[in-house]
Structure 1
Amino acid sequence: MLRHNYFPNPAGLSSRMQPSELIDCTFRDWNAPGVTGFALTSSTEYGSYAAWDLTQLPAGSSLALLAKVGSAAAEDKYRGAILETRDSSGTILAQSETWASNKLLRVAFTVPANGKITVVFRGRQGVNVVTAFYNTRITETSEDESFFNSTDQVLVFGGGA
């Protein structure tokens, strides 16, 4: 099965689409063996905020934004919902929880008729605090790995001997 990732810069590369909006932070790549990602480093005690304005998504499609957020201490606080999607008028389509540590987060949403959304990432509070996001993707809800449970299996069709 071929999956399409609608997220424009999962590896945080400077040569790819940068966030449309950065508040109180810097953005950079944050890669480790076996994972690609990006990091937000906060410049104020409020925590980091990065948003991408995406266009030309398939209108009416059921999509999911997935990202693994890096580690956080139990007492850490985030700027708000860690992941969020909004339509072009600013109405929230979906939000994740407001605290997580080394966890795959998933928010599902339906693409508006105009095909435009804003994807928001929020980091932990504190000056010079780094929040990492790994393997970020936006894909069809029926194609992401969270869709499959212990009784569902991916079918693989292939040629024989």
Structure 2
Amino acid sequence: MYPYFYHYAPYEPDQSLLSDIVKAINGQYNAIACYEQLARMAKNVVERDRILEIRQDEIRHFQVFSQLYITLTGRQVYPHIIEKCPTDYKNGLQFALEDEQETVDFYLTVADKAHDSYIKESFRRAAADEQNHAVWFLYFYTKLCCDNT
């Protein structure tokens, strides 16, 4: 007898939640690639460093959501790029800003639907980060537009 071995009955996770987690993973994967590209186009070192800091947040979110998926399914997820990042800085900033704002709404919806407190808190925390990212992208976008007038 192994006193520290416990056998848990198989748990079938909510398919809607799994679908949302996969969507979040793919979105983060997309943002990681896009923000690397945006950082290379940044107008100065300060903007580049901030975008790389935002990218680090996205990597952290990607890792958290990937671990959630593995924990719930016992399987690895294989992310893919879902949208191409614009190739010029101004459009890239606008794309990032809009994407971050949409992501905030999506993450808060997932958090509201989740029953597990860790999943709920993970999505709420990521939503707060995404809102902060949106503010930075709006700042860079506004600054770029005002400097060019």
Task: Please report the TM-score for the alignment, with normalisation by the length of structure 2.
Answer: 0.26
- Name the structure, 1 or 2, with higher relative contact order (CA <8 Å, separation 6+): 1
Give the structure with the larger strand fraction: 1
Which protein is richer in helix relative to its size? 2
